Amino acid sequence: MTGIAKSPEELALMEAAKRVLPAGGFGNFPADIVIRSGKGGHVQDVSGNDYIDYLLGSGPMFIGHDHPAVTEAVLAQIPKGTTFFANNEHGIRLAEAIVDAVPCAEQVRFLTSGTEADFYAMRLARAYRGRPKIVKFEGGYHGMSDWALMSLAPKRLANFPEAVPDSPGIPDALRNDVLVAPYNDIEAAVRLIEAHQDEIGGVIMEPLQRLIPPKPGFLQAVREVTARLGIPLIFDEVVTGFRFAYGGAQEYYGVTPDICTMGKIVGGGFPLSAIGGKREIMALFDKAAVGEERFLTQIGTLSGNPVAAVAGLATLEVLRAPGTYEKVFATGRSLMDGIVTLIAEAGIPAQCVGEPVLFDVVYAEGDLRDYRSMLRQDAAMQKHVNTVLRARGILKGDSKYYVSTAHTAADIAQTLDAFRAALASLPATRKVA
């Protein structure tokens, strides 16, 4: 495929979107494509074009679209009821499965989005410790709440620990409640936490920050200082949960937080997220256990709904099958290795950053260890390559390849052919002499 033709039907839908949706889209992916269906590791647009899908709905479709086990479970549940605003069998079973799988999760509370989970996890930590401030790491993404949208992608690089709001509409006073540290800097993180220990309610971090893996000892150092000072450590595992290992990034990296948030995979492609944590911390959601003054109210109309719960249970059952993680990591590693070889052959100043199941090509040389070092990347080169990939039937986000259990060797070969063509189309001035 060397070009993507648009049918009159898809073009008409895009025009309709411009009339009724701000910027013509849902605010997620560029609005120049309308997806109609997905199967396995592929999606199809309204015009009938097929794409190898490395977007995966921004990650949830880890076992592929329309997996038979998930589809069967959902279709069996729908006639029995889609939500009850009360306990249901499947939500309880899913909570049991999470507690069995995730090292830090002694109890679970359900929500419907990653933003909600991260928001409540920060509130939970503050309430538990009785302190107002949250420490986060510059460039870390924790959803769309006011607290999370501090120094995610700051337009102005401030001195640490100053927080920079990423959006209008955030009250300026909230800046004082967020302390920002550089990711992968052990000395700076420990020093900041120690210096503000009496103000800090919790520390939140992505174990793998967007694409950037933790340097050896970094997660362990943050865990040590927070444990020593009695400050709750939150791992945002909305992306990494059940992706890096069945027990998430905390299993993969061997570091256990006090609280974690989960989403995407755990709902099997349906709206569901969760907070998991130590029993004594999660007790704040139980008025009978902690009393009126310490009780933390959390209500969600669709939280733990049975349709999402059965989808999550079916997904986790698939992931428990022997060899599942070995296979998907091998698939991702073959794609990464192939891309690294093509980069070297083409003489392109670029590198793969991330883990085999979640990575991207960053068009920069040198050590990429934090948000500021990632700013060195050549955004124009990345955009050009991604555009050529799309024209050749490869669908990915601006900055991620999500690899699924459904991707095949043929998918990897086609992706590498497209990537080779994309590199060949770069101007000679973009290449290393």
Given 264, 401, 402, 411, which residue is catalytic?
Answer: 264
Q: How far is the C-alpha of 347 from the C-alpha of 340, rounded, in Å?
A: 11
Q: Shortest CA distance to 200 belongs to which of 131, 103, 124?
A: 131
Question: Any catalytic annotation for residue 253?
Answer: no
Question: Any catalytic annotation for residue 264?
Answer: yes
Q: How far is the C-alpha of 31 from the C-alpha of 25, rounded, in Å?
A: 5
Given 141, 246, 325, 371, which residue is catalytic?
Answer: 141
Question: Any catalytic annotation for residue 236?
Answer: yes
Compute the CA torsion angle 108, 76, 245, 283 (nearest 10 deg). 0
End-to-end CA distance of the chain: 31
Alpha carbon distances (Å) from 57 to 241, 265, 393, 420: 16, 10, 16, 25
Given 45, 236, 370, 411, which residue is catalytic?
Answer: 236
**Cβ burial, residue 187 (10 Å; 0-12/13-18/19+):** exposed
Spatial CB neighbours of 415, under 8 Å, sequence gap ≥ 6:
52, 54, 335, 389, 394
Number of helices and strands in the chain (H, E): 14, 14
Peptide bond into 161 cis (omega under 30): yes
Active site residues: 141, 236, 264
